[in-house]
Amino acid sequence: MQLANSLNISDKKIIGSMMAFGLGFAGLAFLLGLDGINGLILIGICIAFLMTYVLVKYERFWIYSLMGISPIFFYGSKAGISPNDVFMSLYLNVFTFIWLIYIIFIKKERIVHSISDWLMLMFYFFSLLTVVNSLNNDIPFINFIKEYALFSTCLIYFPLKYYIKDKKDIINLLIILTIALTFADLYHFYLYKSTALQDVLYAYQLGTSVRINQTIFTTAAFTGLIFTIYAKSIKARLIILSFSAITTFALVVTFSRTFWLILIVLVAIAFVLLPIKRKRILTTLILIVVTLSLSVTFLVFKDNAKIFLKVAENRITSVEKGSKDESVKARLVEYESVYRDIERYPLSGMGLGTKVRVYDYFKFTTSYIANIHNSYLFIMHRWGIPLGIIFLFIMFYNAYFSLVGIFKMKDDFYKILSYSAFAAFFTLIVASTTSAQFFQRDSQFVIAIAMLFVNKINEQKSWI
């Protein structure tokens, strides 16, 4: 409530007048019969006035509510711009930029505490300059704005760091995220049921799914497992384990073999690093999660359960094909086109919103694609090599300190946060070799939260 306390009576009257004007204007518009997209815009303006007051009076409400409604952002819309997209853009991106301007230039408070913080602000500031290349490549300005807004989502790290100050705040944040992700898990099951399980005729259809949220599912499932290991009461273990099991199964039905393998590797790393007593607990928990997953599989798929497991097995074993895998061959062809664009604009990149002209390996045609199946090539293509190196330094810098925290932290709570942050960056760094994972919707949230954890870890004196 620091901001509210800093306002005088005059300021509060102005805010109240703005709210009254917004409500009155919207009411008048509806009385006159305004409808359609203009009506939605007016509703958005009215909500913005109301939220301005709420955010002034209850500062943490914005961050906590943002985490609570994050699944809306994760799933987005199938095509075009939906009311949900407009709302999340205002509530997430616009408010974040307003907050940064207010804190830095008006309150003149320090929000950077490491080289990673400095580089992050610098990266997103210079990212604005890529608009020149975007426009030179005939990209509509609105496309640049949309991509910049999406890829700058992780700037919520700064307000997170500002408001989440101690262990109590972190626990509140984790509880809200757990509830939000549980709803995301259930919605993911619904999507799978309404797509892959609807009128199944062939076995391969069981392996088709909505392949999004893999990063946050992987990180959350692993984090839940580690929290369960360190939990002191049986009740807490049962609650957290249930969440971890549900999220693990949500990851399974994405049929993303890369993330399956990453989760397995993370569990193996944890097994090596944990003390003997906790190794036994981890082994027991793995058996419980596997048993629950198999039980749910046979309960949901019934007669198709064995086929489902066979499809899952084939997804994993196909990794052994290596470069002989048809999907790998297709991506290598795609990469050749990306290399050519990077050679044309090595320093400045092609600009945000641009697409790559590629040869479709499966359809034998040429087309333009926005998504490059490799984060490292994606960032060099959009931003250029210099800015690309800065972004990657931020990721590896935080990954390093999360790993150091695992070995050095004495407080169990912050050791768990170290495991969680490490899992997040490990997942992103590895998965980015096969997809533009750094820049997925859920990944942007994961980056912000993982960086928050690293920041809180580095604030502790007990690990030095």
- The pLDDT of residue 59 is 72
Q: Is the pLDDT of residue 20 over 90?
A: no
Q: Which amino acid, residue 235?
A: K
176-212 pLDDT, tens digit per residue, is 999 999 999 988 888 877 766 555 544 444 445 567 8
Continuous segment of H or E residues that includes residue 34: none
Of 352, 379, 348, residue with least CA distance to 443:
379
Tokens of 165: 């100050």
pLDDT score recorded for residue 395 = 97
Q: Does the structure show a pLDDT above 70 at 309?
A: no
Highest mean pLDDT among 50-64, 258-272, 299-313: 258-272
Poorest-pLDDT segment among 10-24, 43-57, 405-419: 10-24
Q: Quote the pLDDT of residue 4.
A: 46
Taking only the tens place, the pLDDT of each residue in 226-249 is: 999 999 899 999 999 999 999 998
* Lowest-confidence region among 35-39, 124-128, 215-219, 221-225: 35-39
Residue 53 predicted with pLDDT over 70: no
- What pLDDT, on a 0 to 100 scale, did the predictor assign at position 119? 97
DSSP 274: S
Residue % of the chain over a pLDDT of 90: 49
If phi > 0 it is left, if psi is from -120 to 50 it is alpha, else beta; for residue 450 that is alpha
What confidence category does residue 88 fall into, taking pLDDT thresholds of 50, 70 and 90? confident
Secondary structure class of 209 (helix, strand, coil): coil
The amino acid that residue 78 corresponds to is K
pTM: 0.86
* Per-residue pLDDT, 333: 85
pLDDT confidence tier of residue 416, bands split at 50, 70 and 90: very high
Residue 462, pLDDT > 60, answer no
Instruction: Give 157-168 pLDDT, tens digit per residue.
Output: 999 999 999 999
For 380-449, the three-class secondary structure string (H helix, E strand, C coil) is HHHHCHHHHHHHHHHHHHHHHHHHHHHHHCCCHHHHHHHHHHHHHHHHHHHHCCCCCHHHCHHHHHHHHH
Integer Cα distance of 228 and 206 in angstroms: 31
Q: Which of 91-100, 118-127, 286-295, 356-365 has the lowest mean pLDDT?
A: 356-365
If you search the block for the tokens 């084939």, which residue do you land on?
A: 314
Residue 216 predicted with pLDDT over 70: yes
What is the percent of the chain where pLDDT is above 70?
75
pLDDT surpassing 50 at residue 100: yes
Mean pLDDT in residue range 83-101: 83
